[in-house]
Copies of this chain bind each other. A is one copy, B any other.
Amino acid sequence: MIVVKIGGAAGISHDALCDDAAAHIACGERLVIVHGGSDATTSLARQLGREPQFITSPSGHTSRRTDPRTLEIYQMACRGVVNQSLVLALVRRGVRAVGISGVDASLWRGTRKSAIRAVEDGRTRIIRDDFSGTVDRVDPSLLNTLMDAGYTPVISPPGLSEAGEPINVDADRAAARTAVALGADNLLLLSNVPGLLRAYPDASSLVAAVSIERLDEAESLANGRMKNKVLAAREALLSGVRRVVIGDARAESPISRALDGAGTVFA
């Protein structure tokens, strides 16, 4: 059982990923695909005349400002653009792909941050109409039902808050929770970087392997989006996933390559 999280940044070919996924599925492997929608949300928001906004927390963490309208745009982008296009690409390759969101059958339950502290021009203010959160409970039964019958789930945000609201969630960390809930052997976090780099963006500074003892060190090397990937790797590893690979989605056969150890292997 393999959970593959695929990034959405420019330069990532869904074709190569879907070719490779189809080959693995044809060999009888169980694959669950997870994606986010950050870039698609930014693009759609701009088409709708809204410049995306980001919040910086007092600790320096940056996240998308998800007001009610942005939540709508996020859902259109995740579900109506990214998920729909991945499912189509897989179906065209003979995969019985089924697109589901974290809301469906309460798959991804999480906690909405009811009050977010944001730093603006040196001042901290509290934001209360934001719909961001974290997935903290994954119900694997729908995924198992689908895979038992030969279907390949393709999971999209949003998650579902305890109060029944859709929430913007980090898909890397949601993928980690999903891998844990499924008892997956491998979690692959594939994006537009070769892996965790000691000196970003120098590809020759790739960290090839991270042991459980070295997780803190790995975390201190990560910046920006990589921070969430390392955090996801930590969460998965400490909860029983055998191996996590942060690898490159831009190569040919990106799944096989990551399984072969290309990228940063956490084990």
Contact = CB atoms under 8 A, between A and B. Distances in A.
A2 interface: no
Interface in A109-127: none
Contacts of A80: 75-81
Tell me whether chain A's interface is mostly helix, strand or loop, or mixed.
helix
A121 to B, nearest CB: 31
Contacts of A91: 103-106, 160, 164
Contacts of A105: 91, 96-98, 151
A99 interface: yes
A149 interface: yes
Nearest to A151: B105
Interface string A194-205: 000000000000
A233 interface: no
Nearest to A146: B145
A263 to B, nearest CB: 30
A84 B142 CA distance: 17
A103 B81 contact: no
Given A80-B81, A88-B103, 20 more contacts: A72-B81, A76-B80, A76-B81, A77-B80, A78-B80, A79-B79, A79-B80, A79-B83, A80-B80, A88-B164, A88-B166, A91-B104, A91-B105, A91-B164, A96-B105, A97-B104, A99-B100, A99-B101, A105-B151, A145-B149
